Structures are given as C-alpha cells and as structure tokens.
Structure 1
Amino acid sequence: MTDVRGLVEQYLAVWNETDDAKRRALVADVFTEDAGFTDPFGAATGHDGIDQFVAGAQQQFGGLTLSLPAEPDAHHHLARFQWYLGEPGAEPVAIGFDVVEIADGRIAKVHGFLDKMPG
C-alpha cells in the first residue's frame, strides 16, 4: 500500500501552499487527473477544479494552515484522517474529517466532512 501518511501530508501541503504555481504542481503530484473532491461547501473535479477550489478556500481562510493531529487510518484503497485549521499552537478554528480513495499512489476522490467551523 501507498505511504498513506506521506500522501496525506502532501494533500495538506496542497491546502497550505499559497504560491499558485507550486500549489498547481502539488495538485498534479497528489491527485489523479480525474480526481474528485466533495465537501459541504462544494465539489470539484480534475486538477484545475481542485486547484481553483483550494485557492478559493485560501482566500476565505487566509493565514491559517491545515495540520494533521493524528495518524491516518487506512485499509485497502481507503484512508481517513482528521485535520485542524488554524494558527500553529493555537486552538483550531475548524476541524474536519476526510476520507480519500487512493489509486496508483495518488488520491482519486476526497469525501470531506466538517466537525467544527468558525461562527
């Protein structure tokens, strides 16, 4: 099986990368060409769609970063993990839980859930 923790860390790096060109390169490394992303705020497909979705989220939550508070849980071609959004060392302003489908060492689908959101 893929190094799940490494893949999840790369996934979070996509969300934390604010340089457009670097983020786009990470998206291409982490996601399959036809990858899908769905969470309560919307859905995106493919590298362009995912990159644009992430860029929009960064505008909304500028200056905050995602972190991995615990080890991912994985079996077969699936992994699940919790993430925190906030400033390093501070109480997270948002907490989420994602389930990813993995194909050929990259993420093919993301199913995102939110446990805590600001406001």
Structure 2
Amino acid sequence: MSDRQQQIDTYVDTWNESDVDQRHVLIESAWAEDGTYHAPAVDAHGYGAISDNIARIQQKYPNRVFCRTSEVFLHKDRARYTWAMLDPAGSATIAGVDYALFATDGRLRRVTCVYDRKPRPGEL
C-alpha cells in the first residue's frame, strides 16, 4: 500500500469517526493545515470546518458507514477513487468520486467530491 493510498484511507476513516477528539486526530493526520474539502453542498476549509461537515453528515444520515469502493488511482500529486456511504442493509445512500490533490508533505490539500448517487426525496 502506498503512503498516498494510506492517506486516502485515513481520510475515509474520518467519516466513520463519531468521537470529535479522535476524528480531529485523524483529520490532522490525513489533511494539510490549509486543506479544503469541496462538495456540491459545502466548501470546508481547515480542520475545524472539515470536522464540522463530517459531524453534519453523520447527524443527517445516522447509522451509515463510509467506505472506499475502488482502488486509488494515482498520478503525480493527484488521486481519484470512488466511495459510498452505506446504510445498515449495505445499500448506498450516497456514492461518488473524489479527486484529491496532495500537499508537498503527502497529506491532502484538497478533495473535490462529485456525487454519482444522492438520496431521492422520501428515500430515507
């Protein structure tokens, strides 16, 4: 496993961590200090905003598990991979593709999320 794949997996783990302090440890490990997460509904810049966004999603979609669903495809300082947020039955509530840019220290500088699947009205 490459160091960059490990960074991606640590980042995915942050989405499953409900303990704020432990999530912050994971975020600091995965993200550069000036890291930014871009998604259709949010631009989160810095550790606090990234953690707050994760907490928001965990509250909105309880009892879900995030997982990486593809290998990590690497090219220089960039990566791409697919992911899904699974409900207790194993069905994807949300799924998408993340495009990552790494900082010079190997941590994430930017992650841009593009959804493949979002919940339909009345589905949850």
Q: TM-score, normalised by structure 2?
A: 0.89
SS at match of 1:93: strand
Identity of aligned residues (%): 27
Match of 2:57? Answer: 57
SS at match of 1:16: coil
Give CA deviations for 1:9-58 in whole Å, capped at 9, x if unaligned.
10110111011110011111110111111100111101111111111111
Shift of residue 89 of structure 1?
A: 6.3
Give the Cα–Cα distance (whole angstroms) in 2 for the partners of residues 71 and 116 of structure 1: 19
Match of 2:97? Answer: 97
Q: Which runs of 5 or more residues in structure 1 are unaligned?
A: none
Give the Cα–Cα distance (whole angstroms) in 2 for the partners of residues 18 and 39 of structure 1: 20
Match of 1:108? Answer: 109
Q: What is the letter of the counterpart of residue 110 of structure 1?
A: V
Alignment map for 1:56-95 (pairs within 5 Å): 56-87=56-87, 90-95=90-95
Q: What is the letter of the counterpart of residue 75 of structure 2?
A: H
CA contact (8 A) 2:63 2:88 kept: no
| Two-structure CA RMSD over aligned residues (Å) | 1.3
Give the Cα–Cα distance (whole angstroms) in 2 for the partners of residues 107 and 88 of structure 1: 29
Give the Cα–Cα distance (whole angstroms) in 1 for the partners of residues 59 and 77 of structure 2: 32
Match of 1:4? Answer: 4
Q: Which runs of 4+ in 1 moved over 2 A?
A: none
Range that drifts further, 97-106 or 81-90: 81-90
Q: TM-score, normalised by structure 1?
A: 0.93
Give CA deviations for 1:70-111 in whole Å, capped at 9, x if unaligned.
101111000011001113662212111100101111000011
Give the Cα–Cα distance (whole angstroms) in 2 for the partners of residues 93 and 58 of structure 1: 12
SS at match of 2:99: strand
Give the Cα–Cα distance (whole angstroms) in 1 for the partners of residues 11 and 89 of structure 2: 21
